[in-house]
Every structure is written in structure tokens, then in C-alpha cells.
């Protein structure tokens, strides 16, 4: 096997790692922006592997709203982390790619979630989402509607009696 050793500052352009920018919307949803994707690249999410984590290719209408300089909290080795919104009902200006592109999902090191990103374009954006959370939101809405309906029926019976 061949082995090549380079100093980081003299690294040939084709071997440089892409820049990863991510912003947590909440604990179950993240917006990810990749720059400089020139070859197939692994995107690793360091949470216990679960097949329900889905990575969907998107286009942000205005990425400056998501990745604004005032919300940047750390940069480390090409990974830029932005402050979490910690909100479950954030309206993101995004469009899903058509057809919805979902990269292949793998377990990495027996623990983490990983996706193989193909170099379609040098700049790519993704929405990483834990899909069962959507079921929770819908079930919560149905429960709330049911609770309001039952309260309305009880109130109507109380008024009529």
C-alpha cells in the first residue's frame, strides 16, 4: 500500500477536507452546510447509531439567516458550530431537492451515524432530522385537539344541565 505524508499547509487542494457548518434547530433537527466537497466524503454525526436519523438534501433560501456570524460559537478543524435555536417550531426557508435525495446511512465505528456524501456540487446543504419526532408532533396535536373537544363537550353538558 502507498503512504503519503503531507504538512497541512502544503496539502494538495484535492486532499483538503471540506468545511462543515452546522446549526442545531433542537435536539432532533440540524441544518448542515458543506463547502469544498471535491471527492466522496463521510459526514459523521457523533450520536448513537439509529436508522431513524435521516439526512435530506436541501437548498436554503437564505443561508445567512441560519449561519450568521453572531451565532457562531466555535470553529475547530474545519467544523463550524453555530448556537442552537432550541425551538421545536422554527420555520426554515428551505426547499427539498427534487427528488428528495437521501445519502446512504451507515454505522461508523460501531457507534456513530455516518453518511457518504457524493461530490455533486462543491457546496451542499442538508437537513439532519430524527424522523420519529415528527410522529410525536402529530400525536401531540391530535391529543390537544381531543382534549379541547372533550373539554368543550363537558362544558356544554355543564351549561345545559
What DSSP letter does each residue of the chain carry, written as one string? -------GGG--GGGPPPEEEEEEEETTEEEEEEE---S-EEEEE-S---TTEEEEEEEES-HHHHS-GGGEEEEETTEEEE-----SS----EEE-SSPP---EEEETTTEEEEEE--SSSEEEEEEEETHHHHHHHHHHHHHHHHHHHHHHHHHHHHH-
pLDDT digits (tens, 9 = 90+) for 104-158: 899 988 889 999 988 888 888 998 999 888 888 788 889 999 999 999 999 988 8
pLDDT digits (tens, 9 = 90+) for 40-76: 888 999 889 999 999 988 887 777 778 887 788 888 8
pTM for the full predicted model: 0.74
Amino acid at each position: 500500500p502507498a503512504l503519503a505524508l503531507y504538512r497541512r499547509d502544503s496539502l494538495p487542494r484535492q486532499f483538503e477536507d471540506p468545511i462543515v457548518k452546522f446549526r442545531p434547530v433542537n435536539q432532533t433537527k440540524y441544518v448542515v452546510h458543506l463547502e469544498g466537497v471535491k471527492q466522496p466524503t463521510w459526514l459523521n454525526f457523533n450520536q448513537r447509531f439509529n436508522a431513524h436519523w435521516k439526512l435530506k438534501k436541501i437548498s436554503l433560501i437564505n443561508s445567512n439567516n441560519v449561519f450568521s456570524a453572531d451565532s457562531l460559537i466555535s470553529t475547530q478543524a474545519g467544523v463550524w458550530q453555530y448556537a442552537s435555536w432550541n425551538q421545536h417550531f422554527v420555520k426554515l426557508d428551505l426547499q427539498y431537492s427534487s427528488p428528495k435525495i437521501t445519502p446512504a446511512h451507515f454505522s461508523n465505528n460501531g457507534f456513530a451515524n455516518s453518511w457518504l456524501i457524493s461530490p455533486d456540487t462543491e457546496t451542499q446543504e442538508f437537513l439532519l432530522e430524527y424522523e420519529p419526532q415528527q410522529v410525536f408532533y402529530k400525536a401531540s396535536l391530535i391529543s390537544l385537539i381531543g382534549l379541547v373537544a372533550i373539554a368543550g363537550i363537558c362544558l356544554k353538558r355543564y351549561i345545559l344541565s
